[in-house]
């Protein structure tokens, strides 16, 4: 399967714990995005990378969130000191460079903070 | 602030009819607008892209229009089928990223 893959698919954690999610984009894609989606809402932009450079981070993103993309390949999203409000689906997407190009999404990681 | 509004109500239609979904945006000037389909528990899947200089785009039974003066896009599913039942997301492309509306859920009855 050459699509975008995310791991794990589901994560249940206790409040205050740290969690890390992984995203493997389509290998030829230079751009990688992280989004968060809650029930009944559309995906909300968190951050994006072009190769290994993190070019934009949402102003809504707490400093408990950090993302990396070492060597411009896979990416990780870490949430420190999780809160119940962090419960959501975390989606990763990748795309080619170029304006307006379509994004390919992974299946997401469903986080539940108890 | 920037806002993307899609039909607030879910759409229930009879098989064979046309579904029309509306997307209105404010404080954006997107050069492109994309539409995605999302099934429960899955990531969005790209359907169509329309550029600001295009009025209409078609792909099989799908049609999208883009009116940059009204700041509106319409998405049509013609000859709808039960397999078209899903949530459809409008996504203006601006500053190298997509922003999404809340989506419109379409249910097609056989």
Contact B43 A108 (CB under 8 A): yes
* Distance (Å, whole) CA B99 – CA B74: 17
Which residues are A50's β-sheet partners? A31, A53
**Which H/E stretch holds residue A71?**
none
* CB of B49 less than 8 A from some CB of A: yes
Q: Which residue of A has its CA nearest to B5?
A: A42
Mean pLDDT of chain A: 95
CA neighbor of A110 nearest in space, from A6, A11, A38, A25 = A11
Contact B43 A107 (CB under 8 A): yes
Tokens of B34: 């994309």
Q: What's the rounded mean pLDDT across residues A96-108? A: 92
* Portion 10-69 of A in contact with B at CB < 8 A: 31, 33, 35, 40-45, 48, 50, 55-56
Q: What's the rounded mean pLDDT across residues A45-50? A: 96
The whole-number pLDDT of residue A1 equals 54
Mean pLDDT of chain B: 95
Q: What's the rounded mean pLDDT across residues B26-38? A: 93
Q: What's the rounded mean pLDDT across residues B50-71? A: 95
* CB of B24 less than 8 A from some CB of A: no
Opening angle at CA B80, ends B75 and B81, nearest 5: 135
Interface test with A, best of B10, B44, B102 (most A CBs within 10 A): B44
The whole-number pLDDT of residue A61 equals 84
Interface test with B, best of A102, A104, A105 (most B CBs within 10 A): A102
pLDDT tens, position by position, B68-96:
999 999 999 999 999 999 999 999 998 88
* Distance (Å, whole) CA B43 – CA A80: 24
Contact A42 B93 (CB under 8 A): no
* Distance (Å, whole) CA A46 – CA A66: 10
Contact A4 B43 (CB under 8 A): yes
Residue A28 CA to chain centroid, in angstroms?
18
Residue B33 near residue A83 (C-beta atoms within 8 A) = no
CA neighbor of A34 nearest in space, from A99, A87, A43 = A43
Return all residues near A86 (Cβ < 8 A) that are at least 6 apart: A79, A111, A113
Please tell me the least confidently modeled range out of B16-20, B27-31, B41-45, B99-103. B27-31
Q: Which residue of A has its CA nearest to B52?
A: A100
DSSP letter at A101?
A: P
Contact A102 B103 (CB under 8 A): no
In three-state secondary structure terms, B8 is coil
Residue A6 near residue A109 (C-beta atoms within 8 A) = yes
Q: How far is A80 from chain B (nearest CA, A)?
A: 24
Question: If pLDDT is split at 50, 70 and 90, which confidence band does A60 have?
Answer: confident
């Amino acid at each position: 399967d050459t699509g975008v893959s995310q791991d794990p698919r589901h994560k249940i954690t206790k409040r205050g714990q740290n969690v890390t999610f992984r995203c493997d984009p389509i290998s030829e894609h230079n751009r990688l995005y992280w989004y968060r989606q809650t029930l009944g809402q559309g995906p909300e932009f968190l951050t994006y990378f072009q190769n290994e450079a993190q070019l934009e981070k949402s102003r809504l993103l707490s400093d408990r969130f950090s993302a990396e993309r070492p060597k411009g390949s896979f990416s990780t999203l870490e949430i420190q000191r999780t809160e119940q409000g962090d419960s959501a689906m975390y989606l990763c997407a990748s795309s080619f460079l170029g304006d307006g190009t379509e994004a390919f999404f992974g299946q997401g990681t469903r986080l539940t903070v108890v | 602030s920037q806002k993307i509004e899609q039909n607030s109500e879910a759409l229930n239609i009879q098989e064979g009819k046309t579904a029309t979904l509306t997307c209105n945006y404010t404080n954006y000037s997107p050069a492109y607008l994309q539409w995605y389909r999302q099934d429960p528990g899955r990531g969005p899947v790209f359907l169509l892209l329309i550029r600001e200089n295009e009025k209409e785009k078609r792909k099989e039974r799908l049609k999208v229009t883009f009116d940059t003066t009204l700041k509106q896009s319409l998405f049509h599913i013609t000859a709808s089928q039960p397999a078209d039942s899903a949530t459809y997301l409008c996504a203006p492309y601006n500053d190298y990223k997509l922003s999404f509306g809340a989506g419109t859920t379409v249910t097609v009855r056989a």
